[in-house]
Amino acid sequence: MREYLDDLGVETVSEKSYKTIVSKVTDTGSGAPRAYLAYYYSLLGVINKYSTSTFCPIILDSPNQQEQDKKHWDMIKDFIISKQPLNSQLILGTVEFGERIFDGKVIELDEKYHFLQESDFEEVSNEINGLLNSIS
């Protein structure tokens, strides 16, 4: 946790506030989203390493919270990619991510309020129904 806080430039969170798993990490202003990101990535890293259960995708929506300045926004982008738990899937929703290079697919949404497209319904429906039928 301390390493992650340092990576994200969060200096005001004391070790006492995150020493146990049921900790309450608090910070104010633009440091708060970075502190939460460090906390959740720490937990996800432990779960990914030591749990035997299925590790679900990590979903981050709009990680540029609290009007991060350029330096801290760059730190967040680097952190999200470089500290992603091994063999995990990341779904990242953001307006811009700059010129960061990462493995994966970029899906640009062009229809407001619609992620799924009506033209894809039948194909997606068949795929999901096939999966559902295979478990019954």
pLDDT at position 13: 86
Spatial CA neighbour of 30 closest among 50, 49, 10: 10
How far is it, in rounded angstroms, from Cα 19 to Cα 22?
Answer: 9
Q: What is the mean pLDDT of each run of 10 residues along the chain (136 residues)?
A: 93 82 74 91 92 92 89 93 92 85 83 83 95 90
pLDDT at position 91: 93
pLDDT at position 105: 87
Question: 13 near 51, Cβ under 8 Å?
Answer: no
Which residue segment(s) compose the domain that 91 sits in? Answer: 2-135
- State the CATH number of the domain containing residue 70: 3.40.50
Tally the domains of the chain.
1
- Residue 2's alpha-carbon distances to 7, 11, 30, 60, 104, in angstroms, are 9, 9, 18, 21, 28
